[in-house]
Amino acid sequence: MTRPDFTVPSVAPERLPDLLRAMPKAELHIHIEGSLEPELIFALAGRNGVALPYASVESLRSAYAFTDLQSFLDIYYAGASVLLHEQDFYDMARAYFERAAADNVLRAELFFDPQTHTARGVSMQTVIHGLHRACADAKADFGIDAELILCFLRHLSEEDAFATLEAALPLRDKFIGVGLDSSELGHPPEKFARVFARCRELGLRRVAHAGEEGPPAYIWSALDVLQVERIDHGVQAIHDAELMARLARERVPLTVCPLSNQKLCVFPDLAEHNLGALLDAGLAATVNSDDPAYFGGYMNDNFLQTFAATGLTAQHAYQLGRNAFEGSFASAEAKRGYMAQLEAVFRRFS
Ligand code: ADE
Ligand code: ZN
């Protein structure tokens, strides 16, 4: 997308937090099941008669002390077990959209994990209809453009992924693309080469988690074998200079999730996060919340805490905002509208 250059005005450091809150945003990496707050998990468990292995909201929340991705995924899948009916999926997404609207999110591309639900006997229709209705209402009630991306669980087989794709195809008009998530190490992208080739033939957009905990080689194969259009996380690219150069040259969007990386010990401390290094190397990095109910923050929390910890500037904020809108799967016309809104807010803060 070409657009006239915009000079980012200088913003007084004390005004930066307000600018970060007010900035229009696109969220490109949110697992909707990861937005289930403990209070809603307990409410849905009560409504659906599902027994939970935790006595209270507090004891569930106190279990959120993760050491790596797998330690989180075990609790995340247990939390999703309370989702049974279409209204449950609607309520979960609705709660997310209320938070997103408060954080000035204009566009959200939501990941969902159908295999987590179909394995428990919940139908694909139940999942997608509930989420899709919430997306339609998000536009009507909050002005948020929302789309769905179906994720395959990479710890399961290629056969299971193909069966999931088949089950979803009658609802093809209700999701825009596919992704790849769950346990990364030991499950390289190429395991799903044929599934993604089929998705490409079907005209689906393609993204994949790569380089969260896994090596740069997984980012290379997500790009070259799966032919994805964005990399989810991708922070391990920093260890491969040739890959960094390619990502910068091709402006491949990276959907970075700083609070997630902190909570899953990808970086020892938020202050050591490499978001600034990725941006300064010319990569199209963005900020996202991943699983906000588990990692202690939605979009504005991610922006505010990361900027406070790493000393990023208004220039970085603008670049992050622009990267997200440009890296989204919105139409060119919608992107122009988002960018005009982003620049209007920056002008207001000059
Ligand atoms: N599923 C939900 N959150 C995830 C993450 N951060 N990485 C991989 N799979 C996920
Ligand atoms: Zn993720």
User: pLDDT, tens digit, for every residue of 116-144?
Assistant: 999 999 999 999 999 999 999 999 999 99
pLDDT in tens, 84-115: 999 999 999 999 999 999 999 999 999 999 99
Nearest CA to ligand 1 atom 6: 290
Measured from the alpha carbon of residue 69, the closest ligand is 1
Q: Which of 115, 155, 209 to mutate to test the pocket of ligand 1 (most atoms within 8 A of CB)?
A: 209
Q: Does 51 score more than 60 pLDDT?
A: yes
Atom of ligand 1 nearest to the CA of 33: 2
Q: Which ligand has the shortest distance to the CA of 29?
A: 2
Whole-number pLDDT of residue 233: 98
Query: Of 212, 213, 326, 343, which residue is the catalytic one?
Result: 212
Percent of the chain past pLDDT 90, that is, above it, reads 98
Atom index in ligand 1 nearest the CA of residue 260 equals 6
For a mutational test of ligand 1's pocket, the pick from 150, 212, 257, 289, i.e. the residue with the most ligand atoms closer than 8 A to its C-beta, is 212
Percent of the chain with pLDDT over 70: 99
By alpha-carbon position, which residue is closest to atom 10 of ligand 1? 182
Atom of ligand 1 nearest to the CA of 31: 2
* pLDDT band per the 50, 70, 90 thresholds, residue 2: very low
Using pLDDT thresholds of 50, 70 and 90, give the confidence band for residue 4. low
- For the cut 60, the answer to whether the pLDDT of residue 242 exceeds it is yes
Question: Which one of the ligands is nearest to 212 CA?
Answer: 1
Q: Select the more confidently predicted residue: 271 or 1.
A: 271
Q: How confident is the model at residue 5 (pLDDT cuts 50, 70, 90)?
A: confident
Q: What is the mean pLDDT of the chain?
A: 97
pTM over 0.75, yes/no: yes
Cα 210 to averaged position of ligand 2 atoms, centre (Å): 10
Tell whether the model's pLDDT for residue 1 goes beyond 70: no
C-alpha distance from residue 325 to each of 26, 116, 196 (Å): 6, 29, 24
Please, which residues have CB less than 5 A from ligand 2, an ion?
Answer: 290
Sign of the CA dihedral with 163 first, then 169, 170, and 171 last: positive
Protein residues with CB under 6 Å of any ligand 1 atom: 31, 34, 69, 76, 181-182, 209, 212, 260, 290-291
pLDDT digits (tens, 9 = 90+) for 263-295: 999 999 999 999 999 999 999 999 999 999 999
Indicate if the pLDDT at residue 3 is higher than 60.
Answer: no
Average pLDDT on 137-159 reads 98
What pLDDT shows up at residue 223? 98
Rounded mean pLDDT, 244-271 = 98
Residue 343 falls in the annotated catalytic set = no
The sign of the torsion formed by the CA atoms of 242, 229, 291, 107 equals: positive
Give the side-chain half-sphere CA count within 13 A for 243: 22
- Going by alpha carbons, the residue nearest to atom 1 of ligand 1 is 182
Q: Does residue 215 have a pLDDT over 70?
A: yes
**Domain definitions of the chain by residue range:** 13-348
Residue 350's pLDDT band (cuts 50, 70, 90): confident
Give the number of the atom of ligand 1 that is nearest the alpha carbon of residue 212: 7
CATH superfamily assigned to domain 13-348: Metal-dependent hydrolases (3.20.20.140)
The preferred substitution site among 207, 265, 290, 294 for testing ligand 1, maximizing ligand atoms within 8 Å of CB, is 290
